[in-house]
């Protein structure tokens, strides 16, 4: 049910960036193929119109640089010109300046060089959420909860430290050393650790664990160069150690990545050989098909794929193939609708062009790319879904393309032109958009650290005991409200349902500090309606018919 409030759209705009990771870093986590060879735009011997047209741009920049009334930055002018040219194409053709290329590629390549910690900013201080297992910080002795105050001779805590780029100080080439000063617990003295930087993996698979005796759960946050290997490691562990039979694949808020990683995972979910999984085709690129190998390592029985409005690109390729072949059940809300393929070309100055060269099509032949004639409307699509009520009602889903396609086994009707529509719809919880809830939720991660420090003796649980026995007390919520009040945030009246949701989220945050990502997802999944719906569907004799 849509809330009738004039402030609702504004609340959504404030909250959605926290919810939808489709707001991409540099706009780059999308279905991509990398092409390192330079792109020849014309034959070397060609002269004439094409060269003259290119020359006009250079001539224009030279005139601005030489004659314009004020001093201009040539590189900035060129960058703006390039960005405006690409805006005439599609939303996903982008230019990556040289100073951003490394960081963006790291997200897709799956590693970077640094000290190996997961951290957050807590009261103007870098707080170690966890040192990565096997990483240099763990080896040096850093612990979860340590506060990094000094990096070499630079103060990186407090109001005066905001001018220091602490991340750049911590990162560095493999084999180099950095010394950090850490405040631990209530000890007034700093502890110093010298850490040898190393190559740090950026995991694209958050967790893989059993939801019940027969059903496994794998959460994929993006499709990087290491995703298939990570997925198979998690799958192998659950099959061999727990005799896993059914599988839930969580692709919510997964903005995509490498197409080939998605197709390699898909090939492990089909016993049949040469089944079409996806094909790509463009004006100047021939049709390219991706098919199953017929050689899965493990026998996975029933499959549920979880999607929402933040699932895009490679996530939609995986969900589309599962749906088109009636291989599993798709659960959640309509996906983003990004069906374009990019190739990356490195330019001479170290920057790169990521250019849309093809569309991809699901096995039934549908393109799921939503219209992009109006780029402003394209960017606002998720907000419009809120306005139309689609996030709350399956009947409000608007199919922009009425062309009917049919699944390849059961001949069920499916549509393209705007994302993957789930087989089982689960509405968004309206509590998540309440004003008070939006205001309070960002303070939960920081508060969880403080609460755990003050109540450490109350948490003598293993994960299984914590899930079953721990119930966030009302007193914890009162402490939370007091903590938020210290930040000059007014706490209004919360509904009982909103309070219960906050207590559940606090329990999940506490579980994360105690048991890392597995703890967080284990607890959160207990009250996640989409996960619970998936479990019920997989227990049905024919999951595709479960409603």
Instruction: Name, in order, each residue with C-beta under 8 angstroms of 120's C-beta and a sequence gap of 6 or more.
Output: 127, 129, 445, 446
Dist CA 434 CA 527 (whole Å): 18
Could you give the residue ranges of the DSSP H alpha helices within 141-179? 166-170
Point out the catalytic residue in the list 219, 264, 338, 370.
Answer: 338
Residues belonging to the chain: 547
Beta strands at 215-220 and 340-346: parallel, antiparallel or unpaired: unpaired
Spatial CA neighbour of 351 closest among 25, 10, 26: 26
Report which of 499, 547, 508 is spatially closest to residue 527, judged by C-alpha positions.
508
Structure tokens at 25: 């870093």
Question: Which H or E run includes 406?
Answer: strand 405-406
Q: Which two tokens stand for residue 536?
A: 């019920």
What distance in Å separates the CA atoms of residue 428 and residue 388, rounded to the nearest whole number? 13
Residue tagged active-site, from 137, 204, 253, 313: 313
Output the DSSP codes for 22-37: TS-STT--SSEEEE-S
CB 321 within 8 A of CB 366: no
Catalytic entry in 137, 224, 261, 342: 342
DSSP label at residue 144? T
The span from the CA of 465 to the CA of 523, in Å, is 11
The structure tokens listed for 299 are: 């026998």
Q: Would you call 219 a catalytic residue per the annotation?
A: no
- 370 alpha carbon, distance to own chain's centre: 20
Query: Which residue from 81, 107, 102 is spatially nearest to 352, judged by alpha carbons?
Result: 102
Three-state DSSP class for residue 203: coil
Q: How far apart are CA 294 and CA 277, in angstroms?
A: 12
Q: Is 369 exposed, middle or buried (0-12, 13-18, 19+ CB in 10 A)?
A: buried
Name the DSSP class of 81.
H
What does the DSSP assignment read for 287-312?
-EEEEEES--SS----EEEEE-TT--
338 catalytic per annotation:
yes
Q: Which of 309, 310, 357, 250 is nearest to 24 (CA)?
A: 310
81 Cβ contact list (under 8 Å, min separation 6): 57, 61
> Under DSSP, is residue 205 helix (H, G, I), strand (E, B) or coil?
strand
Parallel, antiparallel, or unpaired: how do β-strands 147-151 and 154-155 relate? antiparallel
Question: Could you tell me if residue 373 is left (phi over 0), alpha (psi between -120 and 50 degrees) or otherwise beta?
Answer: alpha
**Active site (annotated) includes residue 191:** no
Q: What residues are annotated to the active site?
A: 313, 338, 342
């Amino acid at each position: 049910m849509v809330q009738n409030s004039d402030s609702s759209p504004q609340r959504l705009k404030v909250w959605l960036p926290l919810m939808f990771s489709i707001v991409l870093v540099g706009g780059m986590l999308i279905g991509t193929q990398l092409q390192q060879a330079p792109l020849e735009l014309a034959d070397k011997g060609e002269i004439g119109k094409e060269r003259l047209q290119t020359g006009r741009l250079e001539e224009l920049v030279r005139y601005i640089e030489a004659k314009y009334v004020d001093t201009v930055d040539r590189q900035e002018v060129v960058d703006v010109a390039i960005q405006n040219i690409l805006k005439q194409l599609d939303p996903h053709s982008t230019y990556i300046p040289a100073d951003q290329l490394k960081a963006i590629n790291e997200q897709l390549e799956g590693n970077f060089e640094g000290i190996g910690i997961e951290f957050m900013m807590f009261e103007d201080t870098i707080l170690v959420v966890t040192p990565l297992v096997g990483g240099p910080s763990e080896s040096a002795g850093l612990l979860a909860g340590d506060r990094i105050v000094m990096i070499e001779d630079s103060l990186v805590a407090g109001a005066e430290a905001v001018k220091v780029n602490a991340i750049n100080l911590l990162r560095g080439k493999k084999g180099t050393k950095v010394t950090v000063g850490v405040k631990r617990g209530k000890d007034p003295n700093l502890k110093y650790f010298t850490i040898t930087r190393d190559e740090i993996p950026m995991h694209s698979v958050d967790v893989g664990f059993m939801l019940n005796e027969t059903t496994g759960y794998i959460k994929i946050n993006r499709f990087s160069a290491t995703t298939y290997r990570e997925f198979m490691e998690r799958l192998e562990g659950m099959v061999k150690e727990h005799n896993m039979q059914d599988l839930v694949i969580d692709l919510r808020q997964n903005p995509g990545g490498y197409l080939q990683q998605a197709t390699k995972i898909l090939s492990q979910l089909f016993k049949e050989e040469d089944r079409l999984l996806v094909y790509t085709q463009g004006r100047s690129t021939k049709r390219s098909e991706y098919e199953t190998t017929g050689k899965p390592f493990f026998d996975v029985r029933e499959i549920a794929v979880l999607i929402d409005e933040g699932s895009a690109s490679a996530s939609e390729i995986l969900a589309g193939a599962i749906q088109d072949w009636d291989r599993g059940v798709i659960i959640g809300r309509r996906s983003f609708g990004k069906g374009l393929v990019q190739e990356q070309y490195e330019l001479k100055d170290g920057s790169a062009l990521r250019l849309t060269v093809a569309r991809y099509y699901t096995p039934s032949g549908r393109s799921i790319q939503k219209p992009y004639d109006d780029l402003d409307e394209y960017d606002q699509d998720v907000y419009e879904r809120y306005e139309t009520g689609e996030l709350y009602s399956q009947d409000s889903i608007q199919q922009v393309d009425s062309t009917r396609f049919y699944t390849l086994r059961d001949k069920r009707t499916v549509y393209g032109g705007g994302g993957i529509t789930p087989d089982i719809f689960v509405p968004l919880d309206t509590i998540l958009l309440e004003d008070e809830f939006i205001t309070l939720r960002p303070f939960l991660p920081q508060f969880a650290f403080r609460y755990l420090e003050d109540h450490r003796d109350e948490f003598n649980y293993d994960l299984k005991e914590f899930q079953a026995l721990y119930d966030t007390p009302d007193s914890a919520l009162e402490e939370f409200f007091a903590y938020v009040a210290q930040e000059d945030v007014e706490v209004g009246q919360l509904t009982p349902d909103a309070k219960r949701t906050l207590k559940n989220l606090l329990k999940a945050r506490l579980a994360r500090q105690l048991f890392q990502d597995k703890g967080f997802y284990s607890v959160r999944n207990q009250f996640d309606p989409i996960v619970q719906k998936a479990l019920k569907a997989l227990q049905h004799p024919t999951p595709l018919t479960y409603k």
